[in-house]
Amino acid sequence: MSLQNKKMSLLNRTFIGVCKTAFKPIFRRSARQVLKGRLLDLEEPERGRWLESDVKEYLKQTWARSDLLLPISELDQLPSYGNRLTVYLAIITTAAYQEMVARAVPADYAKTLVGDLGWKVYSWMLTTVSVPFRVTSRDPGRRMERVLRALMVFPFSAPGAPGYEVKVWTEGSNTYTHWTHCPPQTFVRRVIELNGDQGELDAFFKSWCLYDWPGADVLANDGQHGHYTRLNTLSRGDSVCDMCWHGCAKSGKERT
């Protein structure tokens, strides 16, 4: 089944064009940093390593796949440009994974490579967003709360499904974000429903859903690990992503 004949509004087409122009150099830099010199296949090292030409062709085909996935995203149904932005990023990472598989990269290794590539982009975005809050507060808990609440305005504004749906509150140095609807993972599920399962949802989990742990450490910026816990995850079939962002770093036992 295909939705490629479904047309987006002019405003959304323009918005996506701007996003694509902005993110192309960011993903190109990240792909070069992550992929160049890596083995093409961990199990068959004799296949060689990623060359500059491999990276260029990979990016070219990833953007082409992104264009093909775009109609499935149903961006016109989303309530805000912030929500559309996050879904567009999910389109790119899904296309990046699919292109890895198409290049005969083993699925598990493809998930690792795409996760590493996406983390470069995500960590840069988190660092950029958090800079003003690092200037205004030295307290990790206060800083994290302020950044998270700013992100709830853009891009994670949450008027409810089909957009984000979340409850946010703070207790002491901890900020809680309990999500019951996530447009990017809904998009990935729709891709699988329409086109078949190549492991896209697991790739989404092993990138997007695992970024929160190191992402919390980036936001806290206190040189420690252990600023995040989550017991349930929407992309794993649970009814909620029950996130807790710890202003004070927790040990392994304290995080369970």
137-151: pLDDT as tens digits: 889 999 999 999 999
Residue labelled with tokens 């939705």: 3
C-alpha 244 chain-centroid distance:
18
Handedness of CA 151, 83, 166, 121 (dihedral sign): negative
Question: Cα separation of 206 and 39, whole Å?
Answer: 20
Average pLDDT of the chain is 94
Mean predicted confidence (pLDDT) in 48-60: 98
Pick the closest to residue 162 from 75, 232, 92, 70 (CA basis): 75
The pTM of the whole model exceeds 0.85: yes
pLDDT tens digit sequence for 11-42: 999 999 999 999 999 999 999 999 999 999 99
pLDDT at 7: 73
Preceding amide of 155 cis, omega within 30: yes
Rg, Å, the chain Cα set: 18
Residue type present at position 238: D
Predicted confidence (pLDDT) at residue 1 exceeds the cutoff of 50: no
Helical packing angle, 107-136 and 10-35, nearest 10°: 100
DSSP state of 8: P
pLDDT tens digit sequence for 100-122: 999 999 999 999 999 999 999 99
Task: Give CA torsion, residues 138, 247, 210, 96, to 10 deg.
Answer: -30
Bridge partners (DSSP) of residue 49 are 39
